[in-house]
Every structure is written in C-alpha cells, then in structure tokens.
Amino acid sequence: MADNHCFHLLGNIGVSKPAQFTYPFCYSPHPLAIMAKDEVTVYIETHYPANVSLNEGKMMGVLVAEDSRGNVGFIAAFSGHVQGLHDDAFFVPPIYDLTVPDGEFRRGEAEITELNRKIRKLENDSDLAGLETERKTLMAEQIAEERNMRFKFDHDKEQRRSIRAKGNLTAEQSESLARESQFQKAEMKRMRLRHAHNSAVIENEIARRREEIDRLKTLRRQMSENLQQRIFRLFVVKNAVGESATIEDVFARYHRENGEPASLPPAGTGECAAPRLLQYAFSHSLRPLCMGEFWYGASPENEVRNHGDFYPSCHHKCLPLLSWMMRGLSVEPNPLLAPPESEAEIVWQDKWLAVVNKPSGMASVEGKAHSRSLFSWARESFPDAAGPLITHRLDQATSGLVVIAKDGRTFTLMQQMFERGEVAKTYIALLRGNVAHDSGEVSLPLLPSITDRPRQMVDSHHGKPATTTFRTLMRIEGFSVVEFHPLQGRTHQIRVHAAHHRGLAVPVVGDTLYGGGSVPVSENLAVAMEGEFGFPAPPAGGIWLRAAAVSFIHPVTNEKISLSLLPKK
C-alpha cells in the first residue's frame, strides 16, 4: 500500500512462515523475527550510532507480517520516546503521540510541573526550615531546663527530708517546708506550660505550612490520575477482528472478566513496542505472522537486559492490552499451560522422605496456570503422607531432584535445613555462549519485580543476598556447560546470575524470561549432554537447567544422603 512507508520487505526469506502468531509473554523468537531484528540493528548502527537514548539501552520490537499482495516484511517500533527517532518513518508511530506541543498530555504535564514547582518552593522555604530549627531548639531548651530544675528540686527535697528526720519541727516550720515543696511542683508545671505554649505556636505554624504542602500534593495526585484517565481515553486501540476500544475500557473489561477489582491502567500503558506494532498492522491491512521485543544498547543495573536478546512482554501493562488486541489472531498456546510430557520419578525414599526427579514442564505447586503439579503427583503417589510435602521448589521449566517430606515434622526440619544452608545442591546448565572463567562466584542480591512477577531484579539496597559458585565443565560449539552451586534458594537465582551482565552475562539456553531463548542445539551437543552429564534434551518450552544432585544429613536418622542424576564414572 502506498502509505505503508513503515513496512520493510524481507526479500527471499528462505524459511517457512509460522503457523501461529507469537504468544508474546513466553516465546522463542521465530527466525523471521530474528532476521527483522538484525535489519533494525543495522539500521540503527548506520543512522544513529551516537544516539544517547539508544546506546543507554532501549526495548525495541519487530513484527513480521504479510501485506495485501502476499509480500512478507516487517515493521519496527521502540518503547516510549527516543529523541531523534520520533519522526523517523522507519519506525511505526505511537498509538497516541504524547509529544504534541499543544496536546492534552503536554498541557496537563505543564500544569503538574507548575504544581511541582510550588511544592518544591514551599518545602525549601527558609521560613519553614527556620521554624523546624526553632522547634528543635525549644525542645532542647525544655529538656535542659527541666533537667536543671529537677536536679535542684531533688536536692531541696533531700534537704527537707533530712530536716524532717531530725524532728522537733514547729508547725510553722513544717508548713514552710510543705509550701516550698508545693511551690517547686507548681514551678515545674508552669515551666512545662510555658514551653508547651511556645511550642504550640511554632507547631501550629509548621502544621499550617505542611497542610498546604499536603493539599498541593493531594491535588497533584488527583491531577495526575485525571490526566492519566483522559490520556487513556485518547489511546484508542484496535484488534484483529476490527473492534476499537480505549485502553481504559480494555483494562476495565479485563479486570471484570478475571474477577479483579477495577483500577486504572499503569502509567505508560500503550507506549511499549508490541501494542504499537499491532496497532499499525491492524490499521494498514497487514496480517501479523510473528513478533518479538529485544533489547538494544547497554544493560541496566537492576534488570537482566542484554544487547540483542529477545524478552517477553511485561504483564502489568501489556497482558490485558495485548490479550485484547490479539483477539481474532491464531496465537500460539501459552507453554506454561501445557501438561508435562512425563511424570515425576522416585529416585530414593524411606519412611520420612522421598527424593524425586521432576520433569521439565511440571510446576512444583498448584497455581492458576497449571493443571498438573509435583504437589498433586505427590498427593497421589504418597496417599498416606501428611503435611505440605514439597520442601523446596524448582521452576516449572527446570527439571531435576526435589526433596519431599511425608509428614509435617519432617517437612519443618527439612525446611529449616534449607534455610540454614545445610542442603547442598548441584545444578547443570547449558549456557548460550562461552563463559569467560573456569570457576568463580557470583553474588548479586535479588528482589522480585513488583510490577512484572515472576521476574527477579538485582537490587543492592533491598534485595536478599544470593551467592552462587560455578565451575565451567565444557565449552563446545559456542556453548558452555556449567555446574552451579547456589548457596541460597532464591527464585530464579541461577538463571539471573547466569544472564545478568554483572554475573556470567551468558543466559541459560531456553530461558525465554532472561534472554536465553530456544536456540538450535546440534545432535552432537545433545548426545554429549546426555552421555557426559546425564541431561537429556528438555521438551519444547523447557530450559537446559537441571537440579542434578542433592546432599544432606537426614533430619531423623542423621544418615548422610547423597543422590545424583549424573552418570557414574
């Protein structure tokens, strides 16, 4: 079409088109998406080699589609705003342009900016600072004066007690001592009342100024919410069946259908690359084939984002929005909903414990997205067992050894051993790239992402300590086989420590959440993994990460238990 200036032909693609559109929240990029990503990368490096926003790191997106003539090409987008790229016709436009000078957003933003200026002026007011200082000075003076008075009054009280102890006091002398005591008590009360009055004058003035600041902050919050609501009514999105709706309506419908309380969409909803791509495709008669979002530029400190790697769309902003926009498309099924291809197997057991081999694709515990879990398998396999059973968890896509307790007391003892670090765990992983060191230690504190669970973030201030030792066992065909020993059991600990740029910077193969993706593994490498390390290739959607060995002192018998899935040599 004449106005499809953002649609770039891929030419002789040489690969089959996908049968279904990408499920954007857990996927491995299709070869066509990888080809499109490579072309976008070349374009940026050619036209914007010194763009600060891009080089500092930005999420980009590509959508491969067919036009009305059957030509296969791609469209590209970036998330948010990038100075210098906003008017570049290579990229699709935003759903609603927040940067229009006289637009709704800019006007509202200017009003909030002015309000922020007033708040900062009041908060930094020298008079307020002087009042705060005066209040502290008065408090210190009261404490000092009361301490001195109490010291004197206690001394006088002791003197009166000594005089009374000698006896032979006249009535007039006794009355004089009593009056002195009463006077000092009254003097203490008058001093406190005087300080309380002076403090109240200052406190009232501070409170008056603080109330004005709080009033402006409340007004700012209301203005921000109102602006956000107005903006989301201007974001009108389309879906594959030709429907249109505001983002506000899309989220309201999503919450209603899922039995969740209504709430405004998060700030920034609709500005990610994926919804921009779908919006353009539906507006220009393009038939979406596949899609992917990838990171360009430097890695951020907190998140796992490596240059060139694909990542899933976020849940808090994009799950409700993309779920609605993809209505009418034949979308790949969510791999997390697929039943595991095999059942768990008992490796060892006694009266109190069992160690089982959990297959990839089986969740450890029950959840909304899983119909079959290790917990339900354990209930069936050990019908007489009581208690929570699963003493520690493996990610759904991770296979390997899990310790199951058959009664509540043993469960508690095993959990305490895990918490004290008394259970040694060995993992084997295939990493997508060459690990630089033969051995070492990664120590990066982890914190769950509040807005995008189950993703974990590296946070030096609020994260929980997480240390993993590693040993590189083999480097072959551009991959590395690595043995990991996590000293804690944080969620995704090995996966983050492998992928993060301050860790090994080499993600686990098949880890779609942290950038490993499903990449081709040769038959030669697959045979080596199974023969050398007893690690058969995981099923589609699984990752090359296995809990290969576990060792601990039996909490009841004190016997040393050491179990391994590694071949004996």
Cα–Cα distance between 152 and 144 in angstroms, integer? Answer: 12
The Cα–Cα gap between 198 and 341 comes to 77
Nearest C-alpha neighbor of 156 from the set 175, 195, 192, 182: 182
Asked if 375 contacts 423 with a C-beta cutoff of 8 angstroms, the reply is no
Angle made by CA atoms 386, 387, 392, in degrees to the nearest 5 = 130
- For residues 86 and 83, give the distance between their C-alpha atoms in angstroms, rounded to a whole number: 7
Alpha-carbon span 532 to 508, nearest angstrom: 18
Q: Which residues are marked as active site?
A: 395
One DSSP character per residue, 111-131 reads: HHHHHHHHHHHHHT-HHHHHH
Alpha helices in 420-471 (DSSP H): none
Pair 532, 567: CB distance under 8 Å: yes
DSSP states of 59-124: EEEEEEEE-TT--EEEEEEESS--TTTTT-TTBPPPSS-TT-TTSHHHHHHHHHHHHHHHHHHHHT
Place of tokens 């059973």: 389
Residue 23 near residue 335 (C-beta atoms within 8 A) = yes
CB within 8 A of 63, min separation 6: which ones? 36, 74, 75, 77, 277, 278, 280, 281, 286, 288, 290, 291
* Residue 481: closest CA among 541, 435, 515, 439: 435
Q: Whole-angstrom Cα distance, residue 385 to residue 404?
A: 10
In whole angstroms, give the CA distance from residue 475 to residue 430: 10
Question: Which residues make Cβ contacts (< 8 Å) with residue 151, sequence separation at least 6?
Answer: none
